[in-house]
Structure formats: structure tokens, C-alpha cells
Amino acid sequence: MEGTSLEERAGNRLAQFPTFLHANGFVVGAGAGMEVLRVAEQVGLLDRDVLRDSLRALLCGRADEWRRYNKLFDAWFLPANQWQRPEKIDSRHGFLSGEQPQGPPGAREREDETLEEIRPRQAASRQPRTSSTDFRELMQREHLLEVETLVRRFARQLRYIRMRREARARHGRRLDLPATIRRSVASGGTPFHLQWKDRRRVRPRLVLLIDVSRSMVQYSFFYLRLARALAAEMPDVHSYIFHTHITGVSQALNDPDPARAQERLHVLAEGWAGGTRIGESLAQFNREHATRVVNSRTGIVILSDGYDTGEAAVLAGTLAQLRRRARRLVWLNPLMKQPGYEPVSQGMQAALPHLDLLAPAGDLDSLKAVLPRLIEALG
Amino acid sequence: MSSRAQELAALQRDLARLGYIAEPGLAAALLLMQDLQRPLLLEGDAGVGKTEIAKVLAALRDTRLIRLQCYEGLDAHAAMYEWNYQRQLLAIKLLEHDDRGIAQKEQDIFSERYLLKRPLLEAITSEQPPVLLIDEVDRADEAFEAYLLELLSDFQMSIPELGTVQAVSRPLVVITSNGTRELSDALRRRCLYQYVDYPDYDKELAIVRARAPEVPALLAQQIVAFVQGVRRMELQKKPGIAETLDWTAALLRLDFTVIEKDGAERILQTLGALIKTREDHVSMNREVVARLAAAC
């Protein structure tokens, strides 16, 4: 083989590396190929580690990409016998196979199950109609629009909650001094026209913790949809799903490519519709995510029926901690709508003392009814 | 060894001389940052030494460090420039009996004399390129992030009363984030990225040796082993590198020369330097400390 063609091939391989990363779920811009070549020119191709580190800084954008990068680099650049297929595709880290993304084998096998629960339209029509008010029926195609509208309205109303403390501290309008002076020049320095500052809203951050265990199966999809709509309307929404452990789904939910959003949710939703350990899941949240995500202006909304197979004491302790960290702690329970429901399950009993609001949210009406209270509680 | 690798090794040595231990990956990113003229985005838990990178970079280049600490509600103006309006008011009063026209008076009042430079303007108008540290950018809101993007791509700033200010020099920009808020993809794409993790045993030992050379070798090893053990526990707030160094100083001050297996009581008295929440203090009881001490 001639030297030039070898060089060309190396160049091609390099330039296509970003595409490969993109297929593996990296967020890579269109011009990345050129940049890779530029960096390669700068650092040379001889030293693999230097090239790898340099491209890593260039092409990674977030922590999970950072962790997966090295294996992908090896997979792309090293001959097949020099790397042992390292990323045996575990459920947290998307897919590995080149240009055509495929679901991980684990998810594939269970595809039929998971598919139905994640994809609304397919799952919906097969759901039996039982009660007239539960969301089951609302998953029907003709009702989808209504749900969608409500969710969006709900999200928009939430957008206007302002933190009360902020509101109280501000007595009326505030003067914009620089602008006032600028205008006063025309009148010889006497500020006839006052310029006012706009009121700034400080919105609470919302953290949604969505129970996707078996007992919640008919509601969890609706809640996910709510989470997606909320995230589209508000800038600062963080969503997590939990059953026996907790997983962040914000990124997957907000993926602009719906097919890929679905794919990513698949991968994340392993254990969907399984058992529940609310206490342990929330404790895990507290340990791994709360320090970053929860601050003094965070409203935490737990969406769960409170049927817990774990220990109630764990749940109580965790909620107490969360309550101290966050601004508000709200629990929406889909079962509360049912006549004669009392929060007697162990989990609910343990949770009650720590909640700012416990409200039903089993169907559209109850969600509408609870909205003012929710806004008040979060505000 | 390629020439780039030699460059890297030299940079690592220089950084080590200044007391900063950098992995090859970080050194590669720092070099690339200068080659490509791109900002460097550092993510990682609090206390892993992100801010320190900017400081040591400034020391290495022998240049000024301009720091912009982000906070909730930071608006672009507070970060760019402000008019010194008290002085302007005064000037307007003084100019009242001046005969010049309004336009001229205005020009006088909005001249650079009355301009207060805030970090961003300061950074692009310095003669010698400074290091601009934008600390904890995730605390500021999206609007500020968008503004920052504009600045970082054009390196110019428009001040309505003065016109556009072009960058005199291009600062080296280091941005840090604790990941409390998801940053926009646009910002991420524009930056080089580095995830900074807690140091492993060898690296942390090197840091302790570099920063506290007076510590006996055995004690340094024990301190690092102990801290690494603490980090493996499930704590609310894991100790960062600063805490390790604080604790080292505390132990030295109390004349520790070695961590003894049965010295849990004495160690407990110093743990305030390492453990920073009440719950973590409760979980670090005597048995736990004794176990950790025995292991190191």
C-alpha cells in the first residue's frame, strides 16, 4: 500500500471518529471531524495515549461520556485483537455498536415487555378499560391530546410560581439607577423620568421522583409524560425514576430525537414494573444525587403509591434528610382518589410527618384540583 | 517518545514544581487549550481541585488570575461592567453650569473614566493575556450562560454608550462546574472538557508530599490511606483534597508522627478538619475510626 493512501485512510478513520461517538450517544457537533484532524495534526499520531487524551478533552462534554470514552477510542482505533470487547454493554451505558445503534442485549430480550410500557400508543390500546377516571383510559389515542394540553397548562402554571421569600423582600419596584441617570442627562441632570427594573422571578428547581414499580404501572407513563412536558416548559427540572434503585432520566427524556429518547429510556428502565423499595431508592438518591441537585430552593415531588417492600424506618429517615435539604417535599399519590383510601400503608405512615403536602393525582381531575395547592406548597 | 509527549512531560514537571499534580490527560488538555484557543470546562465534585488548576495555570504563565465567582442571580452586567453612577451623578451636578452642549456632556459622562470594569471586561482588556476563571458556572442561570457563549466565541463586548470593545488579548478561560445544573450543549461543545475525579492513592500521596513536605513519609502514607478509606464510606460530604491537607496540618500541629492503631480517641479529636456534617460525624464513631486506623 502506498504512503499517501495509508495517510488518507488514517485521516478518514480519524474524521469519522466523532460520527462513531455520536452513534454511541455522544453529543458531537457537525464540525467535529475537522477539529479532530486539527488536533491530530497538532499532537501527532505516533503516541496513542497523547492522542487519546487530547481527543478526549475535545470530544467529551459530560461526565458519562468521559467515563465511556476510552473504551470507545480503543474500539475504533485499535485492531480487533488488541482490545477485548471491553464495554459489555451494561444497562447504564447505551449502546456500543458503530453506525447503527442497537438496543443492548439485555433490553432486547425483554423488549416486548418494556416496549409496551414505554411506548404510549402501542401499549395504550391494549390496556383494558376498567375505571372511567384512571389514566388507563386517557392513554387512548383520542384522549392523548387532552392529557398533553393539561400537562402543558400545568407546567406553564408551575412556571409562574415564585419563591415567596423573594417576593416579600422586594417592596414594590426597584429603581434602575444607571438607566435613570442616562435619561436625566437630557434634562440637565434632574431625574424627571425614573427608570424601573424588571422584577426578576426566582423559580424553584423541581425534582421529580417517579415510582415505576409494578403497582404503579398504569400511572408511571403519565408521570413520565408530565416530566417531559415540565422539562420543556421550565428550565430547571430534574427527573428520576425508581423501583428498587434510582436512575436519572432527564437527559433521556429530553432527547430531541424521539426514537433515541425511547431507546435510552429502555436502557434506563431496566427493572421497570418490578418490586419497590422506596426507602432504599430515595436513600440512594440522597447519597448520589442530592448533594448536587437539591438546594434550598428545590421542590421535591415524589410520585408514588407508597407501597414499599423495604423498611419503613429507612424511608422515614431518608425523607427527614431530604426535607431538611430541600425547600418543599410533596408527595402525589395516585391511589388517594379512590373512595375509602387512607394512607395506612407502612410507607405512607412513615412518610406523612415529613411531607409538606400529600395529595391525590390519580387522574386529570384530581391533578387539576390539586394544582393550586401544589403551587402554593411549592411557592 | 514523540515531541508532544515530551512537551507533556515538561508541563507536568512544571506543574508539579508549583505543587500541582496533574495526570497526563489534564496536561494534554491544558496544552490543547493553548493550541486551539478554547476554554477548558472542568467538572467534578467539590473539593477535587478544579479551581486550583486555574490558579496554578496563572502561576505557571506568570500572569494575572481574574476570577468570576458565579452565583444565583448573577446578571451579565455585574460580570461585565457597570457605570459608576454615583460619580456620574456628581459629574452631572458639576456640569450643570457648563456651557457645552448636551451631546458633549453626555460623551463626557459616559467616558471610560466612569466605567467600572468587572471581571469579563477586565479579562479581555488586559495587555498580557490573563487566566480567566469562571467559577461554578452552574450556579448562574441560562441567560448568563448564553451571554458567556457569545463572549467566548467573539471575544468582544458591546457597551451601548461606548461602542464595541474588542479583546486586546485572548485570556485563557477556565470554567468550573459542580454539576448542580445541566449545562447547555452549546457551551459544552465550545469548550474542551475534563472530568476531575477524587485522586487515587498515588496521586493524593504525591499531592500531600508536594504541599506538605515536612510530613514524615510514613505519616503521609497513613494519612492518605485513611482519607481514601473515609471516601469509600457512604458519607454525605466526602472529604476533598483541601480537607486532606487541612487534616494533615492539624495532625502535624498536634505532633502526630504516626497514626497508631489504638489511637482512635486522639484521631477523633482532629476529624473536624476532615468531616464536615453532623450526620457524617455520627457515622464516624470510634469503632469505625479504629478500623480505618488499623487498616492504614
Domain ranges of chain B: 3-85+93-195, 201-295
Distance from CA of A133 to the nearest CA of B (A): 37
Q: A21 and A154 in one domain?
A: no
Q: A153 and A53 in one domain?
A: no
The dihedral over CA atoms of B278, B279, B285, B287, expressed in degrees to the nearest 10, equals -160
Please report residues of A whose CB lies closer than 8 A to that of B236: 287, 291
Q: What is the pLDDT of residue A146?
A: 66
How many Cβ pairs closer than 8 A exist between chain A and B?
A: 124
3-state secondary structure A296-345: CCEEEEEECCCCCCCCHHHHHHHHHHHHHHCCEEEEEEHHHHCCCCCCCC
Instruction: Report the C-alpha gap between A317 and A137 in whole angstroms.
Output: 37
Please report residues of A whose CB lies closer than 8 A to that of B88: 181
Q: Say if residues B34 and B63 touch (Cβ distance below 8 Å).
A: no
Q: What is the pLDDT of residue A294?
A: 86
Q: What is the pLDDT of residue A137?
A: 42
Q: Is A169 on the interface with B (CB under 8 A)?
A: no
Look at residue B45 and tell me whether its pLDDT is greater than 70.
yes
* Chain mean pLDDT for chain B: 88
Please report residues of A whose CB lies closer than 8 A to that of B115: none
Q: What is the pLDDT of residue A198?
A: 64
Task: Identify which of B25, B181, B236 has the shortest CB distance to residue A56.
Answer: B25
Task: Identify which of A38, A66, A181 has the shortest CB distance to residue B195.
Answer: A66
Burial class from Cβ neighbours inside 10 Å (0-12, 13-18, 19+) for residue A15 reads middle
Please report residues of A whose CB lies closer than 8 A to that of B191: 61
Please report residues of B whose CB lies closer than 8 A to that of A57: 25, 28-29, 32-33, 40, 192-194
Q: A31 and A82 in one domain?
A: yes
Instruction: Report the C-alpha gap between A257 and A263 in whole angstroms.
Output: 10
Q: A211 and A360 in one domain?
A: yes
Instruction: Report the C-alpha gap between A278 and A286 in whole angstroms.
Output: 12
Distance from CA of A44 to the nearest CA of B (A): 7
A136 falls within a domain: no
Question: ipTM, 2 decimals?
Answer: 0.81
Distance from CA of B244 to the nearest CA of A (A): 20
3-state secondary structure B162-201: CEEEECCCCCEEEEEECCCCCCCHHHHHHCEEEECCCCCH
Task: Identify which of B32, B82, B236 has the shortest CB distance to residue A57.
Answer: B32
Q: What is the pLDDT of residue B227?
A: 94
The answer to whether the CB atoms of B2 and A182 lie below 8 A apart is no
A123 falls within a domain: no
The answer to whether the CB atoms of A27 and B92 lie below 8 A apart is no
Q: What is the pTM of this model?
A: 0.69
Please report the residues numbered 243 through 262 in chain A whose beta carbons come closer than 8 angstroms to any beta carbon of chain B.
250-251
DSSP type of residue A198: P
A338 falls within a domain: yes
Q: What is the pLDDT of residue A361?
A: 80
The tens place of each residue's pLDDT in chain A, 379 residues long, gives: 445 677 788 888 899 999 999 888 788 888 888 999 999 988 888 888 899 999 999 999 888 888 889 989 988 888 765 554 444 344 333 334 333 334 344 433 333 333 333 333 323 333 333 233 344 443 445 555 666 676 677 667 766 665 544 444 455 567 777 778 778 777 777 778 888 776 555 667 889 999 888 888 778 777 887 787 778 777 788 999 888 888 888 888 777 666 677 777 777 766 666 677 888 889 889 888 888 888 877 889 999 888 877 788 888 888 988 888 888 898 988 888 777 777 777 778 888 888 888 888 877 677 777 777 777 777 6
Task: Identify which of A29, A58, A287 has the shortest CB distance to residue B32.
Answer: A58
Look at residue B1 and tell me whether its pLDDT is greater than 70.
no
The answer to whether the CB atoms of A189 and B93 lie below 8 A apart is yes
> What's the domain range around A220?
145-160+201-378
Q: How many domains does chain A have?
A: 2
Q: How confident is the model at residue B173 (pLDDT cuts 50, 70, 90)?
A: very high
| Chain B residue with the nearest C-alpha to that of A55 | B29
**Which of A160 and B133 is assigned the larger pLDDT?**
B133
pLDDT digits (tens, 9 = 90+) for B74-131: 878 788 888 888 888 888 888 877 778 878 888 888 888 888 889 999 999 999 999 9
Q: A149 and A49 in one domain?
A: no
Q: A92 and A209 in one domain?
A: no
Please report the residues numbered 4 through 33 in chain A whose beta carbons come closer than 8 angstroms to any beta carbon of chain B.
27-29
Look at residue B217 and tell me whether its pLDDT is greater than 50.
yes
Please give the C-alpha separations between residue B198 and each of A294, B19, B227, B288, in angstroms, as whole numbers: 21, 17, 11, 22
In sequence order, the 6+-apart residues with CB closer than 8 A to the CB of A248 are A238, A239, A240, A289
Q: A88 and A153 in one domain?
A: no
Distance from CA of B5 to the nearest CA of A (A): 7
Q: What is the pLDDT of residue A171?
A: 54
DSSP type of residue A127: S
Instruction: Report the C-alpha gap between A272 and A174 in whole angstroms.
Output: 51
Distance from CA of A122 to the nearest CA of B (A): 32
In sequence order, the 6+-apart residues with CB closer than 8 A to the CB of B113 are none
The answer to whether the CB atoms of B28 and A186 lie below 8 A apart is no
Q: Is A184 on the interface with B (CB under 8 A)?
A: yes
Q: A98 and A151 in one domain?
A: no
The answer to whether the CB atoms of B192 and A181 lie below 8 A apart is no
Q: Say if residues B264 and B286 touch (Cβ distance below 8 Å).
A: yes
A192 falls within a domain: no
Q: A247 and A366 in one domain?
A: yes
Q: What is the pLDDT of residue A100?
A: 37
**Which of A293 and B66 is assigned the larger pLDDT?**
B66
| Chain A residue with the nearest C-alpha to that of B4 | A43
Q: Say if residues B275 and B235 touch (Cβ distance below 8 Å).
A: yes
Closest CA relative to residue B142, chosen from A131, A237, A254: A237
Burial class from Cβ neighbours inside 10 Å (0-12, 13-18, 19+) for residue B267 reads buried
| Chain B residue with the nearest C-alpha to that of A28 | B189
Look at residue B178 and tell me whether its pLDDT is greater than 90.
no
Q: What is the pLDDT of residue B54?
A: 94
Please report the residues numbered 115 through 154 in chain A whose beta carbons come closer than 8 angstroms to any beta carbon of chain B.
none
In sequence order, the 6+-apart residues with CB closer than 8 A to the CB of B115 are B81, B82, B83, B84, B159, B162
Q: What percent of chain B has pLDDT over 90?
A: 44
A34 falls within a domain: yes
Task: Identify which of A42, A185, A202 has the shortest CB distance to residue B35.
Answer: A42
CATH number of the domain located at residue range(s) B3-85+93-195 in this protein? 3.40.50.300
Helices (H) and strands (E) in chain A, counts: 19, 8
**Cell 427493572 -> residue:** A271
Residue A304's CATH number: 3.40.50.410
* Rounded average pLDDT over B139-155: 85
